[in-house]
Amino acid sequence: MNRRRNVIIIFIALVVIVGLGAIAARPRGTAITVRAVKVAYARYQTKLPETGIVQRPQTQTLAALVSGNVASISVHPGEHVRAGQLLATISNPQLVDAAASARAAAAAAQGRARTTQSANATLPAQNRSSVVQAEAALQNARFNLNQAITDQRAGTQSGLGYGGTSASQQRAAADTAVAQRETDLREAQRITSADRDLYAQKAVAKNTLDADLAKLQLAQAAYDQAKRDRNEIYAQIARQTPVLSDRVRADRDAVTQAEAALAAARANAAADKSGDVQAALADAQKAAEDAGYAADQVGRLRITAPFAGTVQTIAAQTADSLRQLQPGDAVTAGQAIVTISAERGFVVRAKVDEQDVANVRVGQKAIVSGEDLGTATLPGTVQLVGAVAQKSDDPSNTARQIVTTIGLAKTVPYLRDGMSVDVDIITQDRPHVLTVPIDAIRRDAANKPYVLAIVNGRAAKRPVRLGTTNDTQAVIVSGVDPGTSVVAERNVGIVDGISVSPTSAPSASPSPTK
């Protein structure tokens, strides 16, 4: 391999020497045709090419704030919505009942506070506490009665009062379990019967039939257990029915007794006790806060648009990602329901490599293009340069990247969220500087830059001082004046002092890329 490379190098060197000799042997009057340009002032730009994703500037996924079942979904993907518009509702009767009870408790507490304040002006101090206690006992008795009535309607005792499973729900669950086990048993019987026939025909092995019989026994046992469980649940519910009825009767009696005790305390009251008034007011305030919280929970059953925008997606069911949520589906607090985006134009988010981000600043212009945009180009401005460097999505790229946001000054009707585009961030834009094509710049043995000016038909070496350069242009700080014609090609045969014939025709060398 090394020998072949050495032969190639020697061959190229001979070609160059022969070329230079041929040029040197030219008659002095023979001029080489060269591509020439005039040094002139022009716009100089450097561009950082990146790829990006079109996005809406504000996107928000709205989640369920409470658990329950989807009651309605009032919008569909692609629909435009206004701020505050109803998007979906959740059904949770327990929250509604809890809010009603909390409102009743707040009203009762406020009434008790008013009664206590009134009694404070007329009742003796030694009996004021008895009245307040009697009122509290009555309120507690009424609360217990309401709870007992709620549990009796549900057919089961909930314990804390809310969130328990009703008797009908327990019976339905038990019946469903029996039906499922019966289906499993029938399937096991069918398989066993089929394999028994196959075994008789020597189509299956004995161990297969034995396995079927074992599964049949397990299915029979599961079915029997499900029936026993169902019977136990039914029996337990039946046992609870008289207990719940007795509890309601007992709580009604307790309310009657509490009312009698309150009447007696009021009859004997005649003194002042301002502490009871403060306690009653505090109870009323606490009850009002509880009612406010319960009302807020009920308000969370409605999901509304926080801003005007477009519905992007309706969330899929947890167990079936191909089927969107529908009325009746169970949801939990925090589960996504609807995603909407604000209608305030588009932005492009590009990932800039860490070695390039030093050249990117907020306010720089950008040009967005791409295959999906056809011949259209969209102007934009860098709005935000991310504060955190992230690992590249490309496994072959070891550099970290910074998310950079470009706001678009205009859009096109077919622009969509999620489209891939090309982004050119203009990191430098100098509208009036002295420039030459990059092919006009040469370097001597000391790596000093120079150009070959065309003076009286000959190439003349002119050392220059360069500014910034890009793939196509170089900025000239000093060394040549505007209007000077210079050789704009890298032909090694064109040297200082040689006769040249300038032409503006493009050279055969490849055009520089951006």
pLDDT in tens, 295-336: 999 999 999 998 888 888 899 888 887 888 889 889 999 999
pLDDT in tens, 477-501: 999 999 999 999 988 888 999 999 8
- Percent of residues, the chain, with pLDDT higher than 70: 87
Pairing of the two strands 32-38 and 302-304: unpaired
* Closest by Cα among 514, 487, 481 to 500: 487
How many beta carbons lie within 10 A of that of residue 7, not counting itself? 10
Residue 19 scores a pLDDT above 70: no
- Integer distance in angstroms from the first to the last C-alpha of the chain? 35
Cut 0.85: pTM above it: no
Q: What residues contact residue 83 under an 8 Å CB cut-off, 6+ apart?
A: 305, 306, 307, 308
Contact predicate 37/485, CB 8 Å? yes
pLDDT in tens, 208-253: 888 888 888 998 998 899 889 888 888 777 777 787 787 778 888 8
For residue 157 the two structure tokens come to 């005792």
Contact predicate 498/459, CB 8 Å? yes
For residue 115 the two structure tokens come to 């009664």
Residue 121 scores a pLDDT above 80: no
Q: What are phi and psi of 191, to 5 degrees?
A: -65, -45
Residue 449 scores a pLDDT above 90: yes
Please give the mean pLDDT across all residues of the chain: 83
What is the residue whose two structure tokens read 């030093």? 358
Q: What was the pLDDT predicted at 248?
A: 79
What integer is the mean pLDDT of 459-476?
A: 90
For residue 131 the two structure tokens come to 């009245």
One-letter amino acid identity for 394?
D
Spatial distance between the Cα atoms of 378 and 366, rounded to a whole number of angstroms: 8
Q: What was the pLDDT predicted at 8?
A: 54
CA distances 423 to 305, 381, 417, 468, 479, Å, are: 33, 11, 16, 22, 36
* Closest by Cα among 233, 84, 83 to 170: 233
Per-residue confidence band for 158, with pLDDT thresholds at 50, 70 and 90: low
| Dihedral angle sign, alpha carbons of residues 198, 201, 207, 209 | positive
